[in-house]
Structure 1
Amino acid sequence: MNVRRLIPATAAAGAVTLGLVTLSACSTSSAADGKSSDGRLKVVASFYPMQYLAEQIGGDHVTVSTLTRPGVEPHDLELGPRQTAELNEAGYILYLKGVQPAVDKAIAQSEAKNKVDAATLTKLEHHGTEGGHSHEGEEAGHDEHEGEAGADPHIWLDPVKYAEVAKGVGTSLQKADPDHAADYKKNTDALLTKLNGLNSAYQQGLKTAATKTFITTHSAFGYLAERYGLDQEGIAGIDPESEPSPARIKQLQTIAKKDKVTTVFFETLASDKTAKTLAEDTGLKTDVLDPLEGITDKSRGRDYLQVMESNLAALQKALGAK
């Protein structure tokens, strides 16, 4: 039998190769089933922080794929036919509304039975580009990346809020796949223990900080700053690609001198040009503070916990914590 004749032209046009289409057509699991050929629940995560939760809590009972590949800046992700097909075939989708507009739209249209928005599992708050402080000269226009009514979506950078989300994910997985509910609960409890330990490490590690102010390219650390009594001063807004105004740059120079800031932080998935220019103009050091929107070979750690520990070490050094 000629396999090519079994494949509709519309399906072939949306695939990278005929082989991929053939593999999809011959899959032993159906889109309605939401299970892989070995019976595991198909989970699709929107980007790394959601992927990590799904993998940690799902364990051996799930197969996890992510819409945002390593090294891709998640805010600007556009979905292709393959990713849209993944969403329709998923048994469980975990995402965070407000981070990726294209993903939010595609998930709303997906046929998947279980769709979990992490933003509904904890309370989102509003942070200005500087961790809750409003300053003259800020750039506006980030609403498309900030979720409902301008709320800050970066909840995973606060271990306490991330733990709240983890609890909700565990409960929802138990309902989606009740045959393995006991294991999901066990895995959730194990993850909560790790996140509680991380929270304690931040509390202890930052309580002796000589200065509370840190400057960062991407204003992603509002929740972290609020949790541990710090002041985030962002060069850009919540959208990492936004450009600061000249007035904002001048203001940051003043803040750096006044608050005895030592370091300007930049990240791995966005341009470091503005951060390094500001550091040179003000005689400050530079270092990496990772917003953990993706893990690459440039990340200071192999997973969420390791990178968060590296972030803590970087903050301790910059803030003079002993």
Structure 2
Amino acid sequence: MINEIDHISVESAMQVYNGPSIEHDLLVFDDFEELPVIGIPKRMDCIFLAVCLGGEAHYTVDTEERTVKANDVIIISEGQVLNNSWFSDDLSGIAIMMSEDFFNEVIKGVHDLSSLFLFSRSHPVFELSAEEVETLMTYLRIIKHKVETTDHHFRRDVVRSLMAAMIYDISHVMYGVQQGDKRKQTRAESIFTEFIRLVEQNFRAERRVSWYAERLCITPKYLSETVKTISHRTPNEWIDKYVTLELRVQLKNTSKSIKEIAKDLNFPNQSFLGKYFKEHVGMSPSAYRKS
């Protein structure tokens, strides 16, 4: 009997696969046989994105059965549970594991991408045309090459930009799938999607779950239960995710003082921001800025 579900992250995958990587944020696989996903259930502490070039695979994501074949793209989101994996002997393709922090850096400020990747939670496999596969493989080959170029001073930034361009093209395909989807969203899915949209628009000023529940015309308890069921995270965890990402971005990419950043994000004062940041990131804002 399995008492606990194993977790898999970029860091843990790097311990069993010596592929091209950027710190503990991104790992490239060009050999599907090396994917550390076979065996007991594993909860994803990262985002998995792959394109299948040949063969077939079967697995479950959050107990839903999935089949992958040539020309399919696979997306498994952070927090989802992968199980019952089976690969055919001729399975081939290329895959990327990336930390959620790195993914958030990539899509920061990009309109509609967050909602599209939320859509991928219920549509983790979709088919590409031959032309779309070739475009995606071109991106992945260049990304792999840049990840391997360890002496490039701007390696991380170049890879992040290439990932953003690739994700735009993937999201274009996902948008078409979304528009053609005949399955009606459940009430829970609709609430979660609308909650994320509200958080993206208002997290700088509002961090109270009750405020979001009021806008959605439901109770805070019902909102919390719904969001937890759909995403395996609480509303507070989602709000904190957006706030800490914005803090990271401003600390690393602007010359604003910490006091100014505290004002921008509606913290009572600089000290309060410091305590919040250290609690969620593990270091002070000034230490993070210097790191």
The two structures have a TM-score, normalised by structure 2, of 0.28
Q: Which has the higher strand share?
A: 2
Taking structure 1 as the reference length, the TM-score comes to: 0.26
Larger Rg: 1
Q: Taking CA–CA contacts closer than 8 Å with sequence separation of 6 or more, which of the two structures ends up with the larger relative contact order?
A: 1
